[in-house]
Amino acid sequence: MNYKNYLSITDEVAQAIKEGKPVVALESTILSHGMPYPENVEFAKNVEIVVRKAGAIPATTAIIDGKLKVGLNSDELELMCKAENVGKVSRRDVATYVATKKNGATTVATTMMIAEMANIPIFATGGIGGVHRGAQETMDISADLQELAHTNVAVVGAGCKSILDIGLTLEYLETMGVPILGYQTDDFPAFYSIKSGFGVDFNLPDAKTVAKIMKTKWELGLNGGILIANPIPEEYSLDFDKIEAVINQALILAEKQGIKGKETTPFLLASIKDITEGKSFASNLQLAYNNAKVASEIAVEYSKLNK
């Protein structure tokens, strides 16, 4: 494969990868399509600070001018945050965006792809995509799930986005053989809330144990990702029943306005922010920071195991 010709890795990240130092991949869709400007600029900078404080190197990904970017400079982060002519890119879109030199923000699926190409084993996000409510009729299922089934990257997230059908998402991941590891929890988190009413496969006590499982899984030739379910910090958790009522309001709005496909998630998240008067946005920030911290701690332990 000649994909390395399309990779553009910053010197810092490339050197860290070469030396086996801990690196954490970060997505850019959360910047371009998940948060408003200029709040997203502050978040983009802060989340990289969180990663560094925990002992790892941040590698925010994007597609810019025909290149798969691994690590962004301040101008590139600004470009992603302003989101002018920046598309939301999943696996099906990658070749077109690269070949035509369109600028694109990377989803969970695309970030996993780029991370694996760059030899980065762990990635921090807010929450993964999954099976949408009503998917029995619409067949609206995120490409994130197939990526988790086939791509060797561990993903730290606060479960899946609570706008989804959490039960069906977990069933899908089980069918695909994706381990769902609770980070110090028995309960599968529901993005804004600590508990969803569903459980995880295993409750793991610390970053070192997660790192050992990652190493063992891939050394056994068991291809595919790992979902590390990391609950939102309790002080920022929203009441599950209340947020469920808000989600239902947002779903009704989406249906009335004919919102479908990849526009659904950004629309619902924005609507939930408006309905909750910004409380959901504050929670979103904190869960993302927490995921970046835990991913970095795992990256540090994984790096130690491989030296």
Q: Please, are residues 153 and 186 in contact by the beta-carbon 8 Å criterion?
A: no
**Per annotation, catalytic residue among 27, 48, 116, 297:** 27
The rounded distance, in Å, linking the Cα atoms of 139 and 131 is: 8
The two tokens of residue 275 are: 């309905």
Question: How many residues does the structure list for the chain?
Answer: 307
Query: Which residue is catalytic, options 88, 161, 262, 273?
Result: 161
Q: Is 27 a catalytic residue?
A: yes
Which secondary structure element, helix H or strand E, spans residue 228, and what is its range? strand 226-229
Going by their DSSP bridges, the two strands 67-70 and 7-9 should be labelled as: parallel
161 is catalytic: yes
Output the DSSP codes for 94-155.
HHHHHHTT-EEEE-HHHHHHHHHHHT--EEE-S-B--BBTTHHHH--B-HHHHHHHHS--EE
The answer to whether 150 touches 112, Cβ cutoff 8 Å, is no
- Omega before 121 cis (within 30°)? no
**What are the tokens at 142?**
């995120």
Other Cβ atoms less than 10 A from the Cβ of 204: the count is 21
C-alpha 173/C-alpha 155 separation (Å) is 13
Residue 180's SS3 state is strand
Strands (E), 11-115: 23-26, 57-64, 67-70, 86-89, 103-106
**Residues designated as active site:** 27, 161
